[in-house]
């Protein structure tokens, strides 16, 4: 699977701290969606523990639930999900790093979008060529971004069953499905980079 141009909309990952009493007990649960963010917390946890004395564990977080329901003291989420969570609770947030969403696709490159800097133009070309396209995963909120981009160029993907394929599972699963079917996909760069055997 080949990497194409970066989508213009950046995804900022935010950390929500609840100030739970558990932090005083020198442990902290960080809620994260499944996938690359779980691995990121696991990699950073030893250094954080050495610096602060606080042990950190990753807890899989349902983006539609509150942090307290998940038993988490903090959450590491893409901005799309973080804003949804903030709208239902008054929780402070901090930007801890920035990432982006990328368009990946088959090496066969049916729609010839390689090198394009405009994601909307790339999607128009894919739709025009009826290049196989896999729906993005909802796990990190990428699905909402993808649908808003299709809508912005006037393409109703619900009526394009011949080339628009419904993906299932988390981002890594959608990436593997797209690779096996030679389809384009909008995915978090960190998910793409973390995949050990990219299709």
Give the mean pLDDT of 178-187: 91
CB 42 within 8 A of CB 58: yes
DSSP 197: S
Model confidence pLDDT, tens digit, residues 45-89: 888 888 888 888 887 776 666 666 666 777 777 776 766 665 555
Instruction: Tell whether 127 and 83 lie within a shared domain.
Output: no
Domain count, the chain: 2
C-alpha 70/C-alpha 87 separation (Å) is 17
- Residue 127: pLDDT above 80? yes
Looking at the structure, tell me whether residues 86 and 106 fall in a common domain: no
The domain that holds 28 is classified in CATH as 3.40.190.210
Q: Is residue 199 part of a domain?
A: no
Residues 131 and 70 in one domain: no
Task: Please tell me whether residue 172 adopts helix, strand or coil conformation.
Answer: helix
Q: 31 and 74, same structural domain? A: yes
Global pTM value: 0.71
Final residue of a domain: which of 98, 126, 146?
A: 98
10 Cβ contact partners less than 8 Å away, ≥ 6 residues apart: 98, 99, 100
pLDDT tens-digit profile of 78-118?
776 766 665 555 666 666 666 788 899 877 777 888 888 88
Read off φ and ψ for residue 126, nearest 5 degrees.
Answer: -65, -45
Structure tokens at 81: 């999900």
- CA-to-CA separations, 188 to 2, 13, 54, 68, 155, in angstroms, rounded: 14, 11, 29, 26, 22
Query: 62 is written with which tokens?
Result: 């349902």
The last residue of a domain, from among 98, 120, 146: 98
Residues 104 and 190 in one domain: yes
Domain boundary among 64, 98, 132: 98
For residue 115, what are the domain limits?
2-9+100-194
Q: How far is CA 157 from CA 101, 142, 152, 166, in A?
A: 19, 15, 12, 10
Three-state secondary structure call for residue 184: strand
Q: Are residues 26 and 59 in the same domain?
A: yes
């Amino acid at each position: 699977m080949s990497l194409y141009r970066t989508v213009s909309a950046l995804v900022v990952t935010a950390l929500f701290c609840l100030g739970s009493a558990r932090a005083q007990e020198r442990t902290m649960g960080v809620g994260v969606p499944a996938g690359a963010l779980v691995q990121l917390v696991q990699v950073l946890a030893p250094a954080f523990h050495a610096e602060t004395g606080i042990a950190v564990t990753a807890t899989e977080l349902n983006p539609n639930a509150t942090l307290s329901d998940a038993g988490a003291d903090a959450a590491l989420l893409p901005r799309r999900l973080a804003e949804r969570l903030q709208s239902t609770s008054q929780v402070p947030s901090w930007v801890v790093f920035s990432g982006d969403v990328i368009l990946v696709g088959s090496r066969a490159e049916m729609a010839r979008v390689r090198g394009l800097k405009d994601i909307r133009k790339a999607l128009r070309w894919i739709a025009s060529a009826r290049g196989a396209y896999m729906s993005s995963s909802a796990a990190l909120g990428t699905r909402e971004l993808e649908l808003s981009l299709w809508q912005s160029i006037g393409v109703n993907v619900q009526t394009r069953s011949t080339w628009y394929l419904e993906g299932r599972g988390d981002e890594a699963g959608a990436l593997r499905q797209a690779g096996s079917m030679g389809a384009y996909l909008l995915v978090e760069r960190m998910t793409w980079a973390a995949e050990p055997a990219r299709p």
